[in-house]
Amino acid sequence: MTESVPLWRSAALDGIPHGFAGRRGGISTGAFASLNVGTGSGEDEAIVMENRRRAAAAVLPGADLATVYQVHGRTCITTDHAWPMDERPHADALVTATPGLILGILTADCVPVLFADRTARVVGAAHAGWKGALAGVTDATIDAMEALGADPSYIIAAIGPSIARASYEVDVPLRDAVCADDPSNERFFTDGLRPDRWQFDLPAYVASRLANRGIRRVDMLGLDTYAGNTDFFSFRRATHGGEPAYGRQLSMIGLAG
């Protein structure tokens, strides 16, 4: 992490402009210190946009940053351009084959997934909370990449900072919903510390869905947003701490010209 905006990178995506930003390297203060990129956080939009600019420049200087209005669904948008903030489509994933464009996904515990097919020169980014993961947002991303000429057997995926099983206690209805989709999903849950609670390994569940779609290489960075107080924003940590607001971090991937 040598950039002015520190970035975690995946060895699997070496040579492809990408990075998982945390909460350092920006101009935000207080609860948002210092690289909050979420316009829905309540922070002044000018500060958020400057943070976004800095983060994008650390990945691919001069490139436009395309993000979506995330809704915890499965919709994936294919794009060759970025949108004004008030025109972002409602979706949770993006793909592109256009050089000079960065795809960005915001998270604060959910799983960010970056995708690339070097041969086809197609990249993608997905935001996978448990609802979106269960609905198939990663499958939709792979489908959209295939439509641009990618081959799942050549697609590489990297899972960035997200809440880890040790930090993610869930209730019975959530576990039942995941296991109703596939009984073998029980393997992603262990007993919680309280009755009728479970610890859910969301990153492993997402990785399993990727493997089931033929993605042969999935790089899991193993970074826990909840435990990483100084490195990452966490919705759940902020909630448990009674904080009135929380920031978001940005995961990005693009194609050089």
User: What's the pLDDT tens digit per position in 173-215?
Assistant: 999 999 999 999 999 999 999 999 999 999 999 999 999 999 9
Contact 95, 253 (CB under 8 A): no
Tell me the pLDDT band of 4, cut-offs 50, 70 and 90.
Answer: confident
Q: Are 172 and 195 in contact (CB under 8 A)?
A: no
Structure tokens at 80: 């060759």
Where are the chain's structural domains? 7-164+201-254
pLDDT score of 2: 39
Q: What is the DSSP letter of 136?
A: T
pLDDT score of 3: 53
CATH topology of domain 7-164+201-254: CNF1/YfiH-like putative cysteine hydrolases (3.60.140)
Contact between 179 and 185 (Cβ < 8 Å): yes
Number of neighbours of residue 217 by Cβ within 10 angstroms: 15
Q: Is this model's pTM higher than 0.75 or not?
A: yes
Tokens of 101: 């464009």
